[in-house]
C-alpha cells in the first residue's frame, strides 16, 4: 500500500480501484468461459416442422439443445413459455438460446436470432450505508459502467439495529424491502443508461451484502438477527427470480445472493474471500474488512477461520465528534512535525476542512504520539500542546484546523473523548487479530499477505496504524488494499465459472469464532489499550517513550 | 356395458360413474404412498438454535430434511421463503414440511405444526365444451367433491376453430386464457365449498385437456395448431406454478398439465390411456374416445398406436338438426317394434322431448334399419314409413316424437340429412378402427377389451352401434365404458406414484397415424357407408336384408 496523497478525488473513484484490482490480481478473461459463469448461450439450428416431424415447437427447441447439455435438465419458466415459442418460430427455428446455470439444471429464459452484441450482468455491493454496483459484459469481463447511491433506508436509522427495530413495526419490513428494490432498480437504470443498453438486457444480478441487508432484500424478518442466539432466517439461497422480488431487469433474470455464515458475517465477506483468493491459496493469509464492525478472516485453501467485533465506528468516522465518512472536505491525511508540533493536512477534493475521516484520525493520533503530544495511554499531554489544546464542549480537544481554516469558519477538533474511542477501536482490532491467529497457533510473521478491504483499506496508511498498535508490525508490503472486495466478489461470481461454488464452499467450511463470549479476547483487549501495546516488544519498529 | 334405462339423471351424474370405475378397476389406496404421487409430507424435528449451533432457520430446516431425501435436491420457492421461515420458528422447529415432487427435486411449499386433516388435490378435465373437476384427498384417494361448468369460451364459438381464430385477434388470446382461469378458480371454490375446506388447501392441480385448450390455459398461441403441418407450441411441460397462471389455489400450488402428442391428440387422451391401463396391460386393447373428433388408441405395454378422425359430430349431437347433447329432454334411447314400426323412447330426466342425443340417434337408426324403414344405404324407404314420414325444411324427415308429444308443442324429427351425416360418421368410425388395426396386423377378435370413453361410451348401446356397423361385431362384454377417462386420468396422476411418468412415457412412445393423408382410410371409409357394411360377412350377428 502506498501513500497516495496526490489523488484527492480517489474516494469518489472507489470503484475504479476495484477494477484495477481485477486487472492486476486476476486474469478474468482466461478463466471464464465465453458467457461468464452464470449465463450460457447455446446455438440452435433445428429442422423446420413438417407432417413427418410434428414435434411441438418447444419440444423441438429442447430436442435441438439436448446434445449440448449432456444429461443436465432443461427448465422453462412458465412465464417465458409463450415468448420462447414465439421467438423460436419467428427466427425460423434457428438462433441462440439463452440459459441460466442453476444447480439443478439450465433454465432457458430467451431465444435470440443471433448472438447478442453484449451479454450483460450486474454486480451489487448491498451496503448498510451505500449501494455500489457495476455492469459487466460477461464474455469479455469488461466493466461497462459503475454506479452508486446512498442506502435509502438511512431515513429509518444509520445503524442496522434501528432498522431491525423498524422492520418489526407494522409495515416496516415491506417498506425496507421496497426501498432496497427501488434503489437497485434505480442503479440498474443508471448503469444501463451509461452503457446505452436496455435495462431488460441485464440477465443476472449478483448481490453481496451483510446478513441483515440480505434479509431486507428478500423481505425476510431480521428480528432474530440481533437477539441471542443471533440466528438468521436464511444463509444459503438458490438463485431467485428477480421479478418475484420486484426487480425490473430482464423479465426472467435471476439474482444470486452470496451466502451468509451467520448474523454478523454476511455475503459481503464471502465476496471478499473469493475476491482476495484467500480460499484458494496455499499460504495462509488474512483479510480485514472494517465497516461498522471489524471482520477478519484467516485461512488458506485448506481451512478458514473468522471473527467479527465492534472495532469499527471510530475508524469509519462514526464516533469521533468531528468524524465524518470519507467525502469532500474530510481531512484524510495529517502530518505533525515531531520537532515543533506544526501540523499539515490534506482534505478530500481540496475543500476547506469540515471534519476528519478514519484515515485522518489514524494519521493524526499516530502523529500526536510520535510528537509526544499524547502519552502511551492516548491522553493529551497539556504541557506539550500549548495553544493547540482548547476546552471543547466535551472537555479538552486538539485543534486540527483553526476556525479561520475550517469550512464555514468552524474549527476541526479532536477531543479526548474521540481519542478514547479510537484507542478502544484500535485495541479491539489488535485483540481480534491476535485472538484469531492464536486460535490456529500461527504468528503474524507467517502471514505473507494481509488484505485490507473497503474504504478503510484504501485510505489508511498501514504505517500509521502500526505506530498506533492497531495492525501488527510487519513489512508494509504485507498489506494489500483490495478496495471494495464485496463488489469485486460479486463481479467474480458473474464471471468465473467456479466462483459461486467457491462462495458456498467457503461459507460452509468457515469456523466462526464468537468474540462476545471469548475470555481471551477480553484479556488481549486490555493489553492493547496502550500505544503501541503493553508489550512493546511486539512493535520493534515503533519508538517507545518512557513516560515522564 | 349394460342398458341403464332406469337412470334418467345419469347424464347429470357423469362423474359418479368415473368414480365407480376407479373403485372397480383400480386399487388406488394400495398403490399410492401416503400423500398421493405429487405431494410429500415430511415430519421434521430440528434442534433449537443456540450459540453453538447457529445455523440459519431455513438451512436448519433443510438440514433436518436431508436424511429423508437421499440426494434429491430441495428447492425453496422465492415467494415462500418468509412464510416457511416464519412457520418453522413459530412451530418451534418441529412439524411437517409439505413438498411437491418435481422431476429435478422436492419443492418445499409449506410448513405445518402437525399433519393436516386432509391433503387436497384437484383434478380437471379441461374440455372444449365443459370443464369437469374433482377434489381428491390424496392420502385416502377419496373423492371429496365434484363440480362442472360450461367452458365460458363458448361465447367465442362452440367449435375450437372459431376460438383459434378469435385468439389471433388483438387481445383474443389473453381473453381466452383469462376465461379458463376464471372458470377453474370458480370450480376450485365450488369444490372446496362442498368439502368445507379452504381453497388455499389445494396443493396440486392436474389438468387433462386437448392440445388447443391446453394452449389457451397457458396463454400459448394456438395459431399453428390448425395450419399445416399442424404443430403445437408445447407438448411436454414441467409442473407450472399455479399463481403464475392466475390460479387462486395454495399460493405455491403447481399445475401438472398432461402432455400432448400433437395438435389433434392431447393430454385428455393420454389421461384416457393411463385411466384405462392400456399402456400397462400385456394383452392388446383399444380405447375409443368420441368428442368433436373420434380418437382411437390401440396397444399394450409394449407399443401404442393412435389416430383421430372427424367421426364425431353426428354422434355427439352436433350435426343432426334435432340433435342435442345429452341433457334434460334429450331422447337418449329409442326402440322401434320391427313388426309394426311403432316407436317408444325415453328422455333424460323424463322431460318432454326437445331433441335427440347421440345415443338416441344410434338407437333410432339401428331400429329403423331392423324395422326395414331405411335401406342399407341409410335412405328412407317411403313406402314402408307411412305417416311417420313428413316433409321437413330440408327434405324428408322421420317423426320421432309428434308435436303433441314434444316440448313446447314441437315435434322431434330426424331428417334424411341427419341420417346421411350419421352414416358418414359411422363409416368414418369403422374405417378408423379397421385402418388402425390393419396398421399393426391384428384382427378385432384379438382384442379382449375395447374401452369406450366419455358420454358416448356411457350412453350408447354397443349392440345398436354394431347393428349400424359402427363398432365391430364382437361379444358385448368386450365393450367397457370408462366414463370421463380424461378426469379419471387426471385423478390418477394425483394419486398414483408412477402415473405422471406413465403419461410422459405414453406420449413419447405413441405412433400417431395421420388419417388426413391416408389412402387406405379413404378406401375403407367408402366400404363402410352401408348398414352394416359392404362386406356383410364382417357382421355375422346383424341381419342382412337384400334390397327389394
Tens of pLDDT, residues B427-466? 999 999 999 999 999 999 999 999 999 777 777 789 999 9
- If pLDDT is split at 50, 70 and 90, which confidence band does B397 have? very high
Residue A49: list chain B partners with CB under 8 A.
224, 229, 231
Q: Above 50 in pLDDT, residue B300?
A: yes
Residue A232: list chain B partners with CB under 8 A.
56-57
Closest CA in chain B for residue A58 = B234
Q: How far are the Cα atoms of A341, B324, B353, B444 from residue B404, in angstroms, in the given order?
A: 125, 20, 10, 45
Inter-axis angle of helices B14-25 and B485-495, nearest 10: 50
Q: Above 60 in pLDDT, residue A381?
A: yes
Residue with cell 375446506: B197
Closest CA in chain B for residue A232 = B56
Per-residue confidence (pLDDT) for residue A4, from 0 to 100: 33
**Residues 60-119, chain A, touching B (beta carbon < 8 A):** 62, 73, 75-76, 78-79, 81-82, 85-86, 89, 103-105
Q: How far are the Cα atoms of A168, A230, A331 from residue B56, in angstroms, in the given order?
A: 19, 9, 41
Is the distance from CB of B115 to CB of B34 less than 8 angstroms?
no
Q: Above 50 in pLDDT, residue A72?
A: yes
pLDDT in tens, A357-375: 888 889 999 999 999 999 9
DSSP-assigned letters across all residues of A443-494: -GGG-S-EEEEHHHHHH--HHHHHHHTSS-S--GGGEEEEESHHHHHHHHHH
Q: How far are the Cα atoms of B240, B382, B456, B480 from residue B469, in angstroms, in the given order?
A: 44, 23, 16, 18
Closest CA in chain A for residue B254 = A78
Over residues B357-366, the mean pLDDT reads 89
CB contact under 8 A, A233 and B55: no
Is the distance from CB of B395 to CB of B350 less than 8 angstroms?
no
CB contact under 8 A, A82 and B220: yes
Q: Above 70 in pLDDT, residue B207?
A: yes
CB contact under 8 A, B78 and A233: no
Q: Above 70 in pLDDT, residue B114?
A: yes
Write down the number of H helices and E strands in chain B. 18, 22
Closest CA in chain A for residue B83 = A220
In this structure, of B192-201, B516-525, B534-543, the range with the lowest mean pLDDT score is B516-525
Q: Above 50 in pLDDT, residue B16?
A: no
The rounded distance, in Å, linking the Cα atoms of A374 and A352 is 26
The rounded distance, in Å, linking the Cα atoms of B537 and B534 is 9
State chain B's mean pLDDT as an integer: 88
Q: Above 90 in pLDDT, residue B297?
A: yes
Over residues A11-18, the mean pLDDT reads 32
The rounded distance, in Å, linking the Cα atoms of B414 and B319 is 11
A75: distance to nearest CA of chain B, Å? 8
Q: How far are the Cα atoms of A67, A76, B105, B238 from residue A73, in angstroms, in the given order?
A: 12, 10, 11, 11
In this structure, of A5-14, A264-273, B151-160, the range with the lowest mean pLDDT score is A5-14
Is the distance from CB of A121 to CB of A148 less than 8 angstroms?
no
DSSP-assigned letters across all residues of B301-319: SS-EEEEEES--HHHHTSS
Q: Give me the residue from A79, A105, A235 closest to B244, CB to CB.
A: A79
Q: Above 70 in pLDDT, residue B319?
A: no
Q: Above 60 in pLDDT, residue A7?
A: no
State chain A's mean pLDDT as an integer: 88
**Pick from A301, A90, A176: which is nearest to B233 by CA?**
A90
**Pick from A40, A20, A168, A87: which is nearest to A497 by CA?**
A40
CB contact under 8 A, A81 and B218: yes
pLDDT in tens, A82-126: 999 999 999 999 999 999 999 989 999 999 999 999 999 999 999
Question: Among the ranges A259-268, A347-356, B130-139, which has the highest mean pLDDT value?
Answer: B130-139
- If pLDDT is split at 50, 70 and 90, which confidence band does B321 have? low
Q: Above 50 in pLDDT, residue A79?
A: yes
Q: Above 60 in pLDDT, residue A316?
A: no
- If pLDDT is split at 50, 70 and 90, which confidence band does A11 have? very low
Per-residue confidence (pLDDT) for residue A384, from 0 to 100: 85
Q: Which residue, among B214, B233, B243, would best test binding to A if mutated, counting the most A CBs under 10 Å from its CB?
A: B233
For chain B, percent of residues with pLDDT exceeding 70 = 90
A39 phi and psi angles, rounded to 5 deg: -110, 140
Is the distance from CB of B257 to CB of B267 less than 8 angstroms?
yes
DSSP-assigned letters across all residues of A83-115: HHHHHHHHTTTEEEEEEEEETTEEEEEEEESS-
- If pLDDT is split at 50, 70 and 90, which confidence band does A77 have? very high
Is the distance from CB of A208 to CB of A490 less than 8 angstroms?
yes
Q: Above 60 in pLDDT, residue A321?
A: no
Per-residue confidence (pLDDT) for residue A315, from 0 to 100: 53
Per-residue confidence (pLDDT) for residue A322, from 0 to 100: 59
Q: Give me the residue from A50, A51, A56 closest to B234, CB to CB.
A: A56
DSSP bridge partners of B101? B106
Q: Above 80 in pLDDT, residue A319?
A: no
Report which secondary-structure segment, H or E, holds B86.
helix B81-90
Q: Above 60 in pLDDT, residue B20?
A: no
B403: distance to nearest CA of chain A, Å? 51
The rounded distance, in Å, linking the Cα atoms of A169 and A163 is 10
More confident residue, B24 or A44: A44
Residue A240: list chain B partners with CB under 8 A.
78
Over residues A423-442, the mean pLDDT reads 92
**Residues 225-284, chain A, touching B (beta carbon < 8 A):** 228-238, 240-241, 244-245, 260, 262-263
Per-residue confidence (pLDDT) for residue B10, from 0 to 100: 30
CB contact under 8 A, B82 and A219: yes
Residue B514: list chain A partners with CB under 8 A.
51
Q: Is A511 on the interface with B (CB under 8 A)?
A: no
Over residues B409-436, the mean pLDDT reads 91
Task: DSSP letter for A328, please.
Answer: T
Residue A224: list chain B partners with CB under 8 A.
49, 57, 89
Cβ-Cβ pairs closer than 8 A, A with B, add up to 141
Q: Give me the residue from B82, B238, B512 closest to A75, CB to CB.
A: B238
pLDDT in tens, A195-213: 999 999 999 999 999 999 9
**Residues 449-508, chain B, touching A (beta carbon < 8 A):** none
More confident residue, B327 or B96: B96
Per-residue confidence (pLDDT) for residue B522, from 0 to 100: 87
**Pick from A356, A351, A354: which is nearest to A368 by CA?**
A356
A319 phi and psi angles, rounded to 5 deg: -105, -45
Q: How far are the Cα atoms of A332, A353, A364, A393, B393 from residue A409, in angstroms, in the given order?
A: 19, 10, 21, 17, 107
Amino acid at each position: 500500500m502506498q501513500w497516495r496523497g496526490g489523488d484527492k478525488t480517489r474516494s469518489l473513484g472507489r470503484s475504479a480501484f476495484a477494477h484495477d484490482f481485477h486487472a492486476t490480481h486476476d486474469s478474468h478473461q482466461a478463466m471464464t468461459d465465453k458467457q461468464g459463469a452464470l449465463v450460457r448461450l447455446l446455438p440452435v439450428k433445428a429442422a423446420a416442422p413438417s407432417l413427418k416431424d410434428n414435434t411441438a415447437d418447444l419440444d423441438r427447441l429442447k430436442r435441438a439443445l439436448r446434445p449440448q447439455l449432456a444429461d443436465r435438465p432443461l427448465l422453462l419458466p412458465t412465464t417465458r413459455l409463450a415468448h420462447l415459442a414465439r421467438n423460436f418460430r419467428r427466427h425460423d427455428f434457428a438462433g441462440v438460446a439463452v440459459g441460466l446455470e442453476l444447480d439443478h439444471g439450465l433454465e432457458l429464459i430467451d431465444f435470440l436470432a443471433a448472438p447478442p452484441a453484449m451479454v450483460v450482468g450486474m454486480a451489487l455491493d448491498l451496503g448498510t450505508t451505500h449501494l455500489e454496483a457495476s455492469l459487466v459484459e460477461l464474455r469479455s469481463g469488461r466493466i461497462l459502467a459503475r454506479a452508486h447511491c446512498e442506502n435509502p433506508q438511512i431515513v429509518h436509522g444509520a445503524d442496522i439495529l434501528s432498522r431491525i427495530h423498524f422492520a418489526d413495526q407494522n409495515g416496516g419490513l415491506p417498506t425496507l424491502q421496497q426501498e432496497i428494490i427501488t434503489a437497485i432498480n434505480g442503479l440498474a437504470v443508471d448503469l444501463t443508461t451509461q452503457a446505452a443498453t436496455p435495462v431488460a438486457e441485464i440477465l443476472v444480478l449478483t448481490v453481496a451484502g451483510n446478513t441483515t441487508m440480505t434479509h431486507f432484500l428478500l423481505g425476510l424478518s431480521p428480528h432474530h438477527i440481533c437477539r441471542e442466539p443471533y440466528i438468521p432466517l436464511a444463509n444459503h439461497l438458490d438463485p431467485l427470480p428477480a421479478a418475484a422480488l420486484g426487480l425490473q431487469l430482464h423479465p426472467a433474470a435471476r439474482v444470486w445472493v452470496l451466502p451468509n455464515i451467520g448474523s454478523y458475517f454476511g455475503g459481503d465477506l464471502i465476496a471478499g474471500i473469493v475476491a482476495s483468493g484467500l480460499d484458494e491459496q496455499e499460504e495462509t493469509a488474512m483479510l480485514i474488512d472494517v465497516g461498522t464492525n471489524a471482520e477478519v478472516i484467516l485461512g488458506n485453501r485448506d481451512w478458514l477461520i473468522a471473527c467479527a467485533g465492534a472495532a469499527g465506528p471510530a475508524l469509519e468516522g462514526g464516533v469521533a465528534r468531528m468524524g465524518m465518512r470519507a467525502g469532500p472536505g474530510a481531512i484524510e491525511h495529517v502530518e505533525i512535525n515531531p520537532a515543533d508540533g506544526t501540523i499539515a493536512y490534506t482534505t478530500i477534493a481540496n475543500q476547506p476542512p469540515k471534519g476528519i475521516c478514519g484515515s485522518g484520525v489514524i494519521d493524526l493520533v499516530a502523529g500526536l504520539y510520535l510528537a509526544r503530544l499524547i502519552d502511551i495511554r492516548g491522553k493529551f499531554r497539556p504541557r506539550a500542546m500549548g495553544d493547540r489544546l482548547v476546552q471543547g464542549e466535551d472537555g479538552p480537544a486538539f485543534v486540527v484546523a483553526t476556525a479561520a481554516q475550517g469550512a464555514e469558519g468552524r474549527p476541526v477538533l479532536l477531543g479526548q473523548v474521540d481519542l478514547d474511542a479510537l484507542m478502544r477501536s484500535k485495541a479491539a482490532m489488535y485483540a481480534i487479530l491476535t485472538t484469531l491467529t492464536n486460535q490456529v497457533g500461527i504468528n503474524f510473521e507467517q502471514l505473507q499477505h494481509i488484505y485490507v478491504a473497503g474504504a478503510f483499506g484504501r485510505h489508511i496508511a498501514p504505517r500509521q496504524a502500526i505506530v498506533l498498535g492497531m495492525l501488527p508490525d510487519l513489512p508494509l508490503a504485507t498489506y494489500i488494499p483490495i478496495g471494495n472486495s464485496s463488489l469485486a466478489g460479486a463481479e467474480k461470481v458473474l464471471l468465473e465459472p467456479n466462483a459461486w461454488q467457491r462462495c458456498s464452499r467457503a461459507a460452509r467450511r468457515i469456523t466462526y469464532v464468537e468474540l462476545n463470549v471469548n475470555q481471551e479476547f477480553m484479556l488481549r483487549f486490555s493489553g492493547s489499550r496502550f500505544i503501541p501495546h503493553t508489550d512493546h516488544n511486539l512493535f520493534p519498529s515503533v519508538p517507545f517513550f518512557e513516560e515522564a
